[in-house]
């Protein structure tokens, strides 16, 4: 099996047919998979012309009569995908909670090895009750028996059960490794959430397009990057000047701040080659041991900002204002990735983390940083 799609729990239709994702969420998921190219569109038999039609819209491709997949169509669709060895669908909880409230599975005291998660604002509990742990254990056993290259965790509940994390908005789009299940996991939004907020579909389609690539191999592959970080010595300063002698069509330019002061300035001449010039450590101590070396580092930064190559920023208004406050005037500020993305997709988030989740195959570095303050990048 290449991929296992993990949802949350049965809804009313799922409980009636004892099968995951055969209600409205299943229809939406089938469309997401088809539109993104992750899987073939569901085939639906037209009741008027008796011909099968791809469920791409609610009209038959042959006679233009209205068609709508029922639960049996969805069950057959998921069975075909599972039989092909491409996709299996399942849930964390194979039962319908009363009022579709996941909080019923949680109590106030730790009873299992599962991490705490407040699944519902209606419920005061954040710890999985032992009587429901068998659902999670069954999911783990199913995933390990199928041995997929990729698990796609749809929603917070699926992330909680597979990678022991929540906060789906921050997690989605970034492939991570589940140490517990020994498989890579790609979080994305649940189709039920998409039905409530249709602009989410664009992000989900991007996630499934990434998943189309990721399901072909088992390991996590990150792009190779080379970072030049000058040593806090005169040789380090010379190393920085040598870096700027390399040919570059443009520089991606970024700063970070600590206590409203510039702490790091970075330049990237390509997707895999960057120069990072520290000024302050995360504890606000000076990276450069002497005043003379820090002055030399600032001169190196000024040299980079004054180069004729176009500069590309993410939320450049923030970076440029801090540089100007420090007496540095960047030359040829040409592009802003945040503004470009927002102009193209005004309904979507525009933070650097979101852009990295859509356009890159690696963890946004800000998710890895544990100390210091970070600028807003949206």
Least confident window among 7-11, 63-67, 142-146: 63-67
The Cβ-side half-sphere exposure at 155, using a 13 Å CA radius, reads 20
Specify whether 163 is located in the same domain as 293: no
Domain containing 291 — which CATH number? 3.30.420.10
Q: Give DSSP secondary structure letters for 212-274.
A: HHHTT-SS------EEE---SSHHHHHHHHHHHTS--S-EEEEEEEETTEEEEEEEEEETTEE
User: How do residues 119-145 score in pLDDT, each as one tens digit?
Assistant: 887 777 899 999 999 999 999 999 999
Tokens (6 digits) for 35: 């539109």
Within-domain flag for 378? no
Confidence band of 282 (pLDDT split at 50, 70, 90): confident
In a domain, 221, yes or no: no
Question: What does pLDDT average to over the chain?
Answer: 92
CA–CA separation, 338 and 378 (whole Å): 7
Bridge partners, 252 (sequence order):
268, 312
pLDDT-derived band at 363, boundaries 50, 70, 90: low
Cα angle, residue 49 at apex, residues 45 and 54 outer, rounded to 5°:
40
Q: 16-20, 91-95, 343-347: lowest mean pLDDT where? A: 343-347
- Residue 70 lies inside a defined structural domain of this protein: yes
Handedness of CA 47, 49, 54, 60 (dihedral sign): negative
Q: Region 9-19: what's the mean pLDDT?
A: 94
Same domain, 190 and 157: yes
Residue 364, pLDDT score: 54
pLDDT at 358: 86
Per-residue pLDDT, averaged over 85-103, amounts to 93
For residue 356, pLDDT over 60 is answered with: yes
Helices 24-36 and 71-83: crossing angle, nearest 10°? 50
Tell me 116's DSSP state: P
Q: Which of 164, 182, 214 is the last residue of a domain?
A: 214
Whether residue 377 lies inside any domain: the answer is: no
The tens digit of pLDDT for each residue in 181-239 reads 999 999 999 999 999 999 899 999 999 999 999 999 999 988 888 999 999 999 999 99
| Whether residues 272 and 142 fall in one domain | no
Q: For residues 165 and 71, state if they share a domain.
A: yes
Contact 23, 13 (CB under 8 A): yes
Domain end call among 186, 214, 242: 214
Residue 46 lies in a domain: yes
Q: Are residues 144 and 237 in the same domain?
A: no
Decide which of 152, 179, 214 is a domain's last residue. 214
Q: Is residue 114 part of a domain?
A: yes
pLDDT digits (tens, 9 = 90+) for 159-194: 999 999 998 998 999 999 999 999 999 999 999 999
Question: What pLDDT score does 372 carry?
Answer: 42
| Same domain for 113 and 204 | yes
For β-strands 311-313 and 333-336, DSSP reports them as parallel
Mean pLDDT of 47-61: 89
Report how far apart, in Å, the C-alpha atoms of 284 and of each of 115, 222, 234, 235 are: 34, 31, 22, 23
Number of independent structural domains in the chain: 2
CATH number at residue 110: 3.40.470.10
Residue 174 shares a structural domain with residue 318: no
Contacts of 5 (CB under 8 A, 6+ apart): 21, 29, 87, 88, 89, 90, 152, 154
* Pair 269, 314 in one domain: yes
pLDDT exceeds 70 at position 377 = no
- Domain span at 200: 3-214
CA dihedral 358, 360, 361, 366 (to 10 degrees): -90
């Amino acid at each position: 099996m290449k991929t296992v799609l993990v949802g949350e729990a049965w809804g009313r239709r799922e409980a009636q047919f004892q099968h995951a994702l055969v209600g409205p969420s299943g229809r939406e998921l089938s469309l997401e998979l088809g539109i993104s190219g992750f899987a073939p569109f569901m085939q639906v038999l037209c009741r008027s012309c008796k011909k099968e039609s791809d469920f791409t819209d609610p009209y038959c491709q042959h006679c233009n009569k209205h068609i709508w997949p029922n639960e049996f169509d969805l069950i057959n669709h998921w069975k075909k995908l599972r039989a092909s060895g491409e996709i299996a669908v399942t849930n964390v909880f194979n039962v319908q909670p009363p009022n579709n409230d996941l909080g019923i599975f949680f109590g106030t005291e730790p009873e299992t090895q599962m991490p705490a998660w407040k699944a519902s604002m209606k419920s005061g509990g954040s710890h999985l009750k032992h009587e429901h742990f068998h659902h999670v254990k069954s999911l783990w056993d199913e995933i390990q028996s199928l041995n997929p290259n990729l698990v796609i965790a749809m929603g917070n509940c699926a992330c909680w059960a597979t990678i022991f994390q929540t906060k789906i908005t921050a997690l989605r789009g970034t492939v991570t490794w589940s140490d517990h299940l020994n498989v890579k996991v790609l979080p994305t939004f649940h189709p039920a959430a998409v039905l409530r907020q249709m602009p989410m579909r664009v992000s989900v389609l991007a996630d499934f397009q990434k998943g189309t690539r990721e399901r072909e191999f088992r390991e996590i592959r990150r792009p190779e990057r080379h970072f030049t970080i000058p040593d806090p010595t005169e040789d380090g300063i010379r190393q920085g000047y040598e870096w700027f002698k390399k040919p570059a069509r443009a520089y991606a330019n970024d700063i970070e701040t600590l206590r409203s002061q510039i702490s790091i300035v970075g330049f990237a001449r390509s997707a895999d080659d960057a120069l990072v010039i520290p000024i302050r450590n995360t504890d606000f101590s000076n990276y450069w041991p002497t005043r003379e070396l820090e002055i030399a580092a600032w001169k190196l930064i000024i040299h980079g900002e004054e180069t004729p190559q176009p500069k590309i920023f993410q939320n450049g208004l923030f970076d440029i204002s801090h540089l100007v406050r420090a007496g540095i005037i960047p030359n040829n500020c040409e592009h802003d990735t945040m503004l470009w993305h927002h102009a193209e997709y005004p309904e979507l988030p525009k933070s650097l983390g979101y852009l990295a989740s859509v356009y890159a195959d690696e963890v946004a570095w800000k998710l890895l940083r544990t100390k210091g303050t970070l600028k807003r990048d949206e």
